[in-house]
Amino acid sequence: MTGLRLLSRMTKCMSFSLRAKLAQLPAASASRIPQNELVDEELCPGYNPKWFYPAKAGEILSNCYQLLVKIGWGTRSTVWLARDMTRYRWQSERLVTLKIINTHSSTDAHHERDIEKYIARQNPSHRGYGIIRTCLGSFEVAGPEGNHLCLAYEPMREPIWILQKRFVDQKLPLSVAKAYIFILLAGLDYLHMECRVVHTDLKLENILMTFENDSTLSNFVKEQIANLPMQFKTDPTTGQTVYRCHNDFGPLNWRELKKMIPKISDLGLATRLHCDSLEGQEGKREIGLHPIQPDHYRAPEVILGCGWDFSADIWNFGALSWDIIEHTALFRNVHDTQGRYDAKTHLAEMIALLGPPPKEFLAKSGAMAQYKWPDALEDDAGELCSNAREFFGGPFFDEEGQFLYTDLVPARRLEDTIPSLAEKERVAFLSFISHMLTWLPEDRKTARELMEHPFLSLGNPKV
């Protein structure tokens, strides 16, 4: 067979395969959502439908991906399960997750794509390489208000907080929690040591679980298309269809739980420490300056403006360990009555659990208070701030290092915050945590060092 005839035959096969795949999407009737009911992304503060791409089930993007089911949403994007249409007939079906980013977030989206491509290029032989979920590829689609960047990912089953709901009291078995903590530390070690990247946004929502087997995802697609078409509504102003998210992949096969692993995702806020940074006092160590991290997990050096580096992720992960093991936040009083972040109550709780901060730490905070950020940032009230003290509402300590809000310090003890563990496990856990939750960033262990701690192997020799 000549090369031309072979190419023609392959093209026909591919076209036949494409038509067959398209035919699998029936014109099933879905129930309409009342116009006055807000759905998914419409609930986000400042929502503007013009920023979002008007995605529709069955639509093919970039001549490559057919949208099947909306499985996620946020302030910056909608997330769809899609079929790869470039597969030949003799190849197995390939599904991807498409993150379609709105036009209002294009700068952040390109940063997310670029830093994930950088992370994926580093060291594939590192044991934590596969724990970081990075995009498989990207493309742009034209929308009514401009181009939308689309990032393609490996499909994942669910975030770890949904997995927790499947267990009694929404708590993972301790052996499983330990294994996940060990695996996630390997991922952090890869980010820190191989990529020199700080994640800055570690939380349960950004830890996704792999599927326990291939059939779970394929069965979900068949069920959604055949029997459970997405509910939708049409915006009367823009004519844009808004679909209700369908992200329940069905019951878990408990016998295959061991095949599921957590992966660190959503690196849109990750930082390589080459922007908005100063040269540290110790050699040429770079430190970040701008505010980072989710409220409950914010490190003290971020709040007090001392400058942060990889150890901020370690603090974040230490606080996150309570969410993984106890299914509860370690720091409970971080918001005011209006739901806004309150740094002074957060610091008060740190003092209750860890004791007062060292004077050298406060001295560094005082020295850095004179430094101005290159670009001013808006705080929650919309005020422009030029440093961390202004942004978080400081100062919080007087010249002698005394906390200015002693009446806010609660009567709590760190050893009482982990009630589900037996005495031996609790002692080991508190020892493990003591290497992460320290006022001085330089006193924190690295992710690699933490992986060697006895807590992760105590009563769990398989870890």
Question: What are the pLDDT digits (tens) for 228-255?
Answer: 788 888 887 778 888 888 888 888 888 8
Report pLDDT digits (tens) over 40-58: 888 888 888 888 899 988 8
Dihedral sign computed on CA atoms, order 214, 215, 216, 218:
positive
Percent of the chain beyond pLDDT 90? 59
* CA gap 312, 314 in Å, rounded: 5
pTM over 0.85: yes
Report pLDDT digits (tens) over 334-354: 999 888 999 999 999 999 999
Pick the CATH number of 18-155+211-258 from 3.40.50.2300, 3.30.200.20, 3.30.70.1290, 2.60.40.10: 3.30.200.20
SS3 (DSSP) at 158: strand
* CA gap 305, 335 in Å, rounded: 19
Here the tokens at position 21 are 């795949």
Q: What does DSSP say about strands 65-73 and 77-84: parallel, antiparallel, or unpaired?
A: antiparallel
Q: Under a CB-based contact definition with an 8 Å cutoff, are residues 397 and 310 in contact?
A: no
Please report the pLDDT score of residue 284 as a whole number: 57
User: Mean per-residue pLDDT for 422-442?
Assistant: 96
Dihedral sign computed on CA atoms, order 390, 335, 417, 435:
negative
* CA gap 242, 44 in Å, rounded: 14
User: Mean per-residue pLDDT for 96-109?
Assistant: 84
Dihedral sign computed on CA atoms, order 375, 379, 382, 383:
negative
Instruction: Name the residue with tokens 């970039």.
Output: 62
Instruction: Name the residue with tokens 């493990």.
Output: 432
DSSP string, 88-146: -TTSPP-EEEEEEE-GGGHHHHHHHHHHHHHHHTS-TTSTTGGGB---SEEEEEEETTE
| Average pLDDT in the chain | 86
Please report the pLDDT score of residue 374 as a whole number: 87
Please report the pLDDT score of residue 309 as a whole number: 95
Cα separation values, 462 from 258, 329, 369, Å: 11, 28, 48
Domain spanning 166-209+266-456, CATH architecture? Orthogonal Bundle (1.10)
The residue ranking higher by pLDDT, 463 or 387, is 387
* Cα 366-370-373 angle, rounded to 5 deg: 120
DSSP annotation of 418 reads: -
Of the candidate ranges 155-169, 271-285, 328-342, 389-403, the one whose mean pLDDT is the lowest: 271-285
Domain ranges of the chain: 18-155+211-258, 166-209+266-456
CB atoms within 10 A of CB 280: 12
Cα pseudo-dihedral 164, 170, 175, 179, rounded to 10:
30
Dihedral sign computed on CA atoms, order 415, 421, 423, 429:
negative
User: Mean per-residue pLDDT for 55-80?
Assistant: 91
239: left (phi over 0), alpha (psi -120 to 50) or beta: left
User: Mean per-residue pLDDT for 139-147?
Assistant: 90
* CA gap 174, 371 in Å, rounded: 45
State yes or no: pLDDT of 16 exceeds 50: no
Please report the pLDDT score of residue 334 as a whole number: 94
